[in-house]
Amino acid sequence: MKRGILLFVCMGLLQLSFGQKDLESKLKQIYWNNAGPEFRQMKAPAKWKNESAVILATRVDYLGTFAGVRKSFTENIVIHYRVLLQDKASVREYSELTFNQNKIKTNLIGKTNAYSFVAVKIVKPDGTEKIMDLSSAVKTDVGSEKDSKMAVPDLDQGDIIDFFIAIQSKETDVPNITESDLLEEKYPVVNKQIRFIVPRQINFSSKSFRGAPEFIKTKQGKNNIYTLIDTMRGRAPEVLWDFPHRTSAEVRYKISNGKTFVHQDEALVAREALQNFDYNNQDIRYIEDYVNQNAGESKSQDEVVKEIYYLLRSPIFQKAYFDIDQGSPLDNHYVSERFFFLLNKYLKKYNIEHEIMIVPSRNYGPFCDLVNMSSCDLLLKIGKDSGYYLSRPTPFSIPGEFPYLFEGMEAVLIGYPKSNTAARFNEEIPVSGKESNLTHSRYNLSFDSSDLSKILVKREVSAKGNNKAYHQYLIFTNHDYLREYDKPQYQNFSYSEIRNLVNEYSYLREKSEQQAVQENYERERRVEDDIESELDTKISEYKNLIITSVGMWEDMPDTKYSDEFVIDNGTKKAGKNFILEVGKFIEKQTELSDEQIQRDRDIHMGFARTFNSEVIIIIPEGFSVEGIDNLNINVSNIYGGFISSARVEQNKLLIKTSKYYTQNHCTSADWPHMVSFLNAAVQFSKSKILLKKL
Amino acid sequence: MYTGRSLHLFVEKKLFFFLWLFPSVLFGQQINELVTLYQHKYKENEAVIIHSESKFEFDLAENKVVVREDRNQKLLSLRYNTFINEVEFYDSNSDIKEFSCESSLNQKSFNSDKVCGNYTNSEYFFDDNKFCTHKLKLQEAGEVWKTHVDKIYNDSKYLTSVYFHDKYPIVTKKIILKIPSDIDVDIREFNFEKFAVEKHVTEQGKFRIVEYSISNISAMENVRLGRSVQFIYPHLLILVKSFQSEGERVNILSNLHDLYGWYRSLTSQLSVQPEVFAPLVNSILKGKVTDDEKISSIFYWVQDNIRYIAFENGLAGFKPDDAHSVFQKKYGDCKGMANLTKEMLRYAGYDARLSWIGTKQIRYDYSIPSLAVDNHMICTVILEGKKYFLDATEKYLPLGYNAERIQGRQILIEDGDNYILEKIPEVSGENELELRQVKLSMKSDMLVGSYKYILQGEKKRNFLCGYHFSSGDTKDRLVKHCLIDENKNMKVNNVRLPDMNHRVGAFEINTDLECKGAISSFNNELYIDIDISKDFKSWIVDEERQSDIDFGEKIHKVLEVELELKDGDSVIFLPEKLQIDHKEFSVHAVYVKDLNRILYKKRISIENGIISKDSFIQWNEAIRKLTQHYDSQIILKR
């Protein structure tokens, strides 16, 4: 019996190796020997002669076929590239390849039913071709996405590397495929083709944006063929404040089984998804227990809901409902959709008016432009017009805050109780103004009387709205966070499961004290580095960090802290006088290069915002200040501005600046307006004053 | 009576004594004190090794010396709720027999729980390094993890060095070597002078027991511009020279002759097929008349056409790839490239030879018979008594110039059954100049003018390499970076590059220069900053740093600025002259008024490219003065 099995295995291996050879030669025949003329191209257009590499041709082929009596669906995907390497940098890039070793799966009678295959050849400038033997590849290191790597032999500047990846897989049904493909790549592309060959029963729909060509439909037997050809596409540029999926050529497409009805409008898909909230069977006993123990009758519904939000944000309940480790609350955790189901369940049960929304993100655009909902997220609104939003909790989010990428987007919604909200289907998410996202920094500067190159700095920082997060993660530690939740209302619960988690929290809270020294040390280094980067100077003696409010509770929603440090070489000496680069104290500015000043793509930023600064300088005894006039600047327009003023009061020089952006988006035509105030801020940041010896 | 510091030490010693002897019965309070103590002392470390003991037992097996390492270690957690990885490396010449961990909080990770895989050193494309790891949870501060490793070195040649330091600070560590009398092992000690290492040698029957102990050492650093660990940390070099077998002495690596003999045994296995590259050699030699032309054309061809891709797999780490194979693949490691250079030159009629060398990263020389003494291979051509050292891994290196990393190093040149031992000549600092010559005049608040940037030697080679291996826009960025760093107040226009493929001689970039905001005007006085390259400004070194600073090149940065004054401008103030001379570095800067010009000359030199730890205080003092000098401005009255 055992011998029989062994023989069967050996025969299987033989079949596999023969099968692989046949398949290899068949695929190479199709994709290399029978490839179209674009894959025989040897030269790049002259205008791209200085590019590092040029993609002479690239092609994605998708062939979907039903097998048997539609019992399964076979997908064949081939991705093919032909790249001309024009300099040593691109030769270096392609000289070491990583890939998954070729794999082939056969059924019991030896017929291939799935494979993954890679083939690479080098084409020399004289047209001679060398096919790489991938069997000499070596294993990649642990952690690599691919299993094999290989040094490409005999690769030179001027060579073409031509490779394809062919994958066949068998699915039980027609998979839903949706893609958003930017046509620009790292290198310019001479010819790009994306082609889908699918049975007529299968739905294919596509959308082309910003100059991208359309898919052309043709018929071949029982199949439809959808082909997109794009030619002479420049490489993807690096652009400041850019959402590439809103500014560069792109095709989005969707494939689905013709048997099932699929909405072409993602807003309808979203609306359908929201119906899931009608069948919500979440267990909210732990939440109810909390409310029963902590919310007396004096608390309004709003207050109760907000308390539930803080509860679900707490390390204890993050563990209870979302299985997030309590010990490191500031790590990048993801709170699942369950959050919305839990709240919805509670709100429905207690008849609290609310709406569940699905909101598309600004960086992929509105529903009408989407082919899937991967860029969308859920949002909850309590109450109606004057209500407030609840977003997926992050460590510092508070009721009323939501991700800035939702701003201005039209959401679809479902309201409860349905009788009150049946007429509403959509809502435009509000856009925050420049005053809502505000950072204020106050620098008090004084000089060491024995050494005027040394500046003693006391700093106060406050931030609100979307400007907060940067500071919150800068100044707060896991230890601080656990301490924030050390409150009586999070201690008493009726359920033993939660009591166990409270014990775990208490244990971790206590243990976190043990490493406060180290966390504080790391925080100080972090803040020091941040100051040195923002002020472009070295500092020393960082001390006295006082966090007045981290901004994670609604009653103290802003982040506020203060600290002190010394700038050792803060002034430039000129004879008996000193020059102070006072402009540095408005912190690092966006300084545009010549290339960035010319722009043909719209500007997409996170949010409107304001940065206010106050710099108070105690003028050292025996010195006067010169150069104040240069500190008064006012450049403003509808997109933003930079305004500064300076005056001397007694022995102090008082400087105030405000830089603000009024919009989160403007068109490329409006870019010069932005450039004007950005440059004004840069000009100020280079301002100097003279401390002149009297 | 105890002072504050001695009390602190007393507490540390007392607590440690308890922990070492009775870890299981240590009171919580004592553990807490110890944890607090080490948390303050080693703020950046997740754990501290409170005791480590490694025993190396030498033995004979199948006519080879094998070494068994048995290591036990106690790791005290300084963090809570944190994961660390305990990693042990091995390769084709060693095996991990057992690797297990157990904590005082009853966590266990057995030998079977270890996860193993490939781990290629970043210098190579592929090597035979492998690792095994245990992911350990530091559940709470004060938890003690015991780890045990049992590792075999199947051939003692490959056990070259043993270090005392680790990735965590160590409270006490012992290294014990148990050597039978029939094996001749020479133990060389390095960097002991700066560390208190105790040594005891005893005899136990037929064994010699050598025991080293060290205490209170910080974690091994991973710092920018760190010097090779061989120069910094105390360590042992293990030289297994010979053993007795049936009354006969069998040499392993008893002297340089043995080492060369082993290398030679590998190179003599190489196959030579000159017909593979002969057409190319004939073609590139066409029209070349002098020997220098011929040698350089082959040398440059290998530099330009063979990519450095290193496979260090087993013996391939020591044996060069065949020349024809490297030629066909168009890639190879240093040995493969040296061998191809040699064979192409031999085909061309030259006496070319393989040569082994330890770069400046290696602190040992060939007086030590060990595989640790070299890490590189080049080709040497002997022609009419003159030697050309050809390192084709150094792209854009001109013939006759030796890369900084091998200058002054011993080189072992093949010579049949014998060898030639020589030294690569050093190049003087003047040939390693980075010179900026600037002529400026005043225009509004700007300085404008012409700027000449000249590079020599290694600097030029580095620039050309960086340039040619950068793509598109990055090339322009690289040029700008070299000319004006990231200074957004400066702008270069009309950049004229020289022939970027020309290896020989100085390299000169000419450009127009604008320095915005370099002139500050207050009333009728102009405050001017004409130093366009504030090299080493605020470059203060952490004096606690363990490693010397190794710039990897000699540094000679010179700036010459000529500022043209306008009629009627009078000079009110010129910054003072700065002159600092130290055995390792010097800084000279001086402003001079000359008719209607101000001349400024600055020179910063770091003769060997090394600032040793012993010089950190003087270096920092010099940097403070230099930074003050940079912050000094010229004042003109207009």
Q: What is the pLDDT of residue B1?
A: 36
Across the beta sheet with A689-693, the strand order is A571-574, A577-580, A689-693, A623-626
* Reported confidence tier of residue B122, pLDDT bands at 50, 70, 90: confident
Residue range B42-250 in CATH 1.20.1250.20: no
B331 vs A contacts (CB less than 8 Å): 95, 151, 153
User: How many Cβ pairs within 8 Å bridge chains A and B?
Assistant: 144
Please calculate the CA angle B127-B132-B137 and round it to the nearest 5 degrees. Answer: 140
* DSSP string for residues in A399-422: TT---GGGTTPEEEEEEESHHHHT
Binary contact (A92, B307; C-beta < 8 A) = yes
Q: What is the pLDDT of residue B513?
A: 97
B38 vs A contacts (CB less than 8 Å): none
pLDDT at B422 over 70: yes
Q: Nearest CB to A95: which of B115, B331, B520?
A: B331
| Cis, bond preceding A417 (omega within 30 deg of 0) | yes
Residue range A438-464+567-693 in CATH 3.90.870.10: no
A686 vs B contacts (CB less than 8 Å): 489, 516-517
Residue range B256-423 in CATH 3.20.20.80: no
**Domain span(s) for CATH 2.60.40.3140 in chain B:** 42-250
For chain A, say whether B141 makes contact (Cβ under 8 Å). Answer: yes
For chain A, say whether B416 makes contact (Cβ under 8 Å). Answer: no
The answer to whether the beta carbons of residues A100 and A148 sit under 8 Å apart is: yes
Q: Nearest CB to A51: which of B119, B472, B517?
A: B472
CA gap A208, B611 in Å, rounded = 60
**Reduced to 3 states, what is the DSSP secondary structure of residue B138?**
strand
CA gap A404, A664 in Å, rounded = 9
For chain A, say whether B331 makes contact (Cβ under 8 Å). Answer: yes
Residue of chain B whose Cα is closest to the Cα of A326: B81
Distance to chain B for A588, nearest Cα, Å = 12
Distance to chain B for A627, nearest Cα, Å = 6
Q: What is the pLDDT of residue A11?
A: 36
Binary contact (B635, A142; C-beta < 8 A) = no
How many angstroms separate the Cα of B505 from the Cα of each of B403, B500, B519, B560?
15, 12, 37, 21
Q: What is the pLDDT of residue A6?
A: 34
Binary contact (A151, B529; C-beta < 8 A) = no
Distance to chain A for B461, nearest Cα, Å = 16
Q: What is the pLDDT of residue B25?
A: 45
CA gap A432, A599 in Å, rounded = 26
Binary contact (A574, B635; C-beta < 8 A) = yes
A154 vs B contacts (CB less than 8 Å): 328-330
Q: How many residues comprise chain B?
A: 638
Binary contact (B117, A142; C-beta < 8 A) = yes
**Domain span(s) for CATH 2.60.120.1130 in chain B:** 429-637
Mean pLDDT of B608-619: 96
CA gap B595, B601 in Å, rounded = 16
Binary contact (B471, A521; C-beta < 8 A) = no
pLDDT digits (tens, 9 = 90+) for A524-581: 999 999 999 999 999 999 999 999 999 999 999 999 999 999 999 899 988 899 999 9
For chain A, say whether B41 makes contact (Cβ under 8 Å). Answer: no
The percentage of residues in chain B with a pLDDT greater than 90, rounded to a whole number, is: 83
A626 vs B contacts (CB less than 8 Å): 522-523
Q: What is the pLDDT of residue A109?
A: 62
pLDDT digits (tens, 9 = 90+) for B145-203: 999 999 999 999 899 999 999 999 999 999 999 999 999 999 999 999 989 999 999 99
**Domain span(s) for CATH 3.10.620.30 in chain B:** 256-423
Q: What is the pLDDT of residue B144?
A: 95
Q: What is the pLDDT of residue A12?
A: 35
Stretches where chain A sits below pLDDT 70 are 1-20, 68-70, 106-112, 260, 296, 420-423
Domain definitions of chain A by residue range: 2-261, 267-428, 438-464+567-693
Q: Which B-chain residues 112-131 have CB contacts (< 8 A) with chain A?
A: 115, 117-120, 125-126, 131
Residue B38 tokens read as 């080490």
Q: How many residues comprise chain A?
A: 694
Q: Nearest CB to B79: which of A92, A96, A518?
A: A518
* Test the A interface: residue of B527, B528, B537, B541 with most A CBs within 10 Å: B527
CA gap A388, A390 in Å, rounded = 7
Indicate the class that CATH gives domain A2-261: mainly beta
Binary contact (A508, B307; C-beta < 8 A) = no
H/E/C letters for each residue in A492-527? CCCCHHHHHHHHHHHHHHHHHHHCHHHHHHHHHHHH
Binary contact (B631, A572; C-beta < 8 A) = yes
Across the beta sheet with A177-182, the strand order is A177-182, A250-256, A203-209
CATH topology of domain B429-637: Jelly Rolls (2.60.120)
* Test the A interface: residue of B31, B38, B307 with most A CBs within 10 Å: B307
The answer to whether the beta carbons of residues A445 and A617 sit under 8 Å apart is: yes
Q: Given the DSSP bridges, would you call strands B507-515 and B490-496 parallel, antiparallel or unpaired?
A: antiparallel
Residue of chain A whose Cα is closest to the Cα of B636: A574
How many angstroms separate the Cα of A639 from the Cα of each of A596, A660, A680, A681?
18, 8, 14, 14
Q: Nearest CB to B517: which of A325, A514, A686?
A: A686
Radius of gyration for the alpha carbons in chain B, expressed in angstroms and rounded: 30
Q: For residue A235, what is the DSSP state?
A: P
Binary contact (B522, A90; C-beta < 8 A) = no
Residue in this structure with the two tokens 């910094």, named with its chain if needed: B232
Binary contact (B573, A690; C-beta < 8 A) = no
Q: What is the pLDDT of residue A25?
A: 87
Q: What is the pLDDT of residue A61?
A: 94
pLDDT at B117 over 80: yes
Distance to chain A for B223, nearest Cα, Å = 16
Binary contact (B44, A515; C-beta < 8 A) = no
Helix-helix angle A315-322:A301-313, to 10 degrees: 80
For chain A, say whether B527 makes contact (Cβ under 8 Å). Answer: yes
Binary contact (B628, A453; C-beta < 8 A) = yes
Binary contact (A518, B573; C-beta < 8 A) = no
Binary contact (B80, A569; C-beta < 8 A) = no
Binary contact (A514, B125; C-beta < 8 A) = no
